[in-house]
Amino acid sequence: MSCQGLSRGARAMENSSSPARYEAQTDGGPDSTSNASNAGRNGPTRVASIGKSQQRTLGKTSSLDAMEQEIRNQVEDLPAFARELGKDDRFRNLDPSRMIFTGSGDSFACSLFAHYLSQMQALAADPYELRLHPKVAENKTVFITSVSGKTRTNIQLARTVRGLAKKRVAITANPESPLAKECDDVIRLRYRSPGILTSGTASFSTSLLAAAALIRRLPKLDSLHTMERRAAGWARRLRVHPRGRFLFIGSGTGYSLAMYAAFKIHEVLGLSAQYQHTEQLGHSQLFSLQEKSDNILFLSSSSDKKTSEVYRALAKSGFNSYLLKSDTRDPILGTLQMMFCLQHLALSLGRKMGLQECAFLTDRQKLALSSRLIY
C-alpha cells in the first residue's frame, strides 16, 4: 500500500518511498491525548481530557517526541490488538442497525467512522444529545467510546439509558474507570504509551479498530511498516502556507478523518482548523476561503469520486488545494493509510515550526478549562 497526495494544484503525487507490554491512554477530541505512566488505570488524555495528575507529568520529555514514538508503536501494536479483537466473539453477528456508537472528540470521530463503515446502518450520536433523547437507545446496543472512561457526559449517558438499551458497552483503555463500572460490558483498548502527555494517536487507532471489528472482519495488518514510513515521507515533503488556516474535507469515512485531522491541528499546532462534508463545501463555506493562503486538504477513499472532483475544481480555480487519496479498496486499510499521513502531518508541521511541546500543553488556563468542561 502507498499514500497518494497530498496532491497540490492540479497534479497528484504518490509517495514512494514483538510489542512490549500494552498500556493505555485517553479519549478523542478534547478528551484524547496520551499519558502512559497511568495507562490502564487512568487511560490516555486528549485536549479535553486532561486531569491535574496528568498535568504534573509535563516538562520531563518532549510531548512531540512522545507523539512520534506512539505513532511508530502503532506499526506493531495495531496488528497485535487486531488479533485480540479477532478472538473476541462476544459481539459476533450483531445487526448494525441495532447499534449506536457515541463518544466525544477523537472518540466521536471513531463513532462516525463506524456509522459510515456500516453503510450508515449503525447510528453515531453525540453523547449529550443522545442523553437528551434516550428513547433512541431502546433495545439497542450502545457502544460508548472513552479512552479514559472518565468523561462526565459519557457516564451520565450510560446511567440514563440503563434499562432502555439492550446492552451498554464501554470501549476504553481503563477497565476500572467509572464508565466501565457503569456499563454492562467492556472492550479494552490495548497499546503502548510512552508515559508522556501528548496528542492522541494510538488511542484513536485502537478505538477505530475496536469499532470496525463490530461491523466487519478486520483485514490483515501486515503492511503497516511500509504504510507508516511512506506517510512520514509524504508529510515531510508537503508544503503548506505558513499563515493559512486549515480546512479538511471528506465524505463518508473520509469525513470522520477530516474531523480527526482538524483535532490534531488544534492540539499539536494550536492553529485554526475546520472540517466539512464534501457536498456541503460549495453551499456556503467556499465563500469564506482565501485562495492563496488557506490550506484545503481533501481526504478521499479509492472509491470516492465526488471528493476528487471537488478537489480538481478548486485546484483549477487557484485555491491552495491538496488531495490525500488512499490506494486500497479495503475501507479499514484505506482509513489507516490516511490516518498515518494525518498524524505525521501534525507532527511534521510541529517540528518545522520549532515546537518542543504540543500547543495544548502550553496554555495552562485553557487546559484547566478543558478539564472542567469534560470532567
The residue extents of the domains of the chain are 3-15+219-353
Which stretch of 35-49, 75-89, 348-362 has the lowest confidence by average pLDDT? 35-49
User: What sign for the dihedral angle of Cα 1, 238, 244, 270?
Assistant: positive
Residue length, the chain? Answer: 375
The Cα 288–Cα 2 span in angstroms is 33
CA distance 251 to 299: 8
Predicted confidence at residue 33, as pLDDT, reads 53
**pLDDT tens figures, 187-225:** 999 999 888 889 999 999 999 999 999 999 999 999 999
3-state SS class at 103? strand
CA R_g for the chain: 19
Under a CB-based contact definition with an 8 Å cutoff, are residues 69 and 194 in contact?
Answer: yes
Cell numbers standing for residue 39: 495507562
- Average pLDDT of the residues in 314-340: 96
Beta strand spans in 108-207 (E): 123-125, 141-145, 167-172, 185-188, 198-199
Q: Strand, helix or coil at 367? A: helix
- Of 119-123, 238-242, 323-327, 356-360, the one with minimum mean pLDDT is 238-242
98-112-346 Cα angle (round to 5) = 155
- Please tell me the predicted confidence (pLDDT) of residue 194: 84
Under a CB-based contact definition with an 8 Å cutoff, are residues 26 and 173 in contact?
Answer: yes
| Sign of the alpha-carbon torsion through 362, 369, 174, 116 | negative
CATH class of 3-15+219-353: alpha beta
| CA separation for the pair 317, 307 (Å, rounded) | 15
Alpha carbon dihedral 287, 288, 290, 291, in 10-degree steps, equals: -30
**Span 273-295, average pLDDT:** 96
| Residue 101 dihedral angles phi and psi, to the nearest 5° | -110, 135
* Nearest alpha-carbon partner for 201 in 109, 85, 88: 109
Q: Which cell numbers in the block locate residue 305?
A: 469520486
What is the rounded average pLDDT of the residues 112-137?
Answer: 98
In the sheet that holds 185-188, the strands lie side by side as 123-125, 99-103, 141-145, 167-172, 185-188
CB atoms within 10 A of CB 152: 16
CA distance 252 to 332: 12
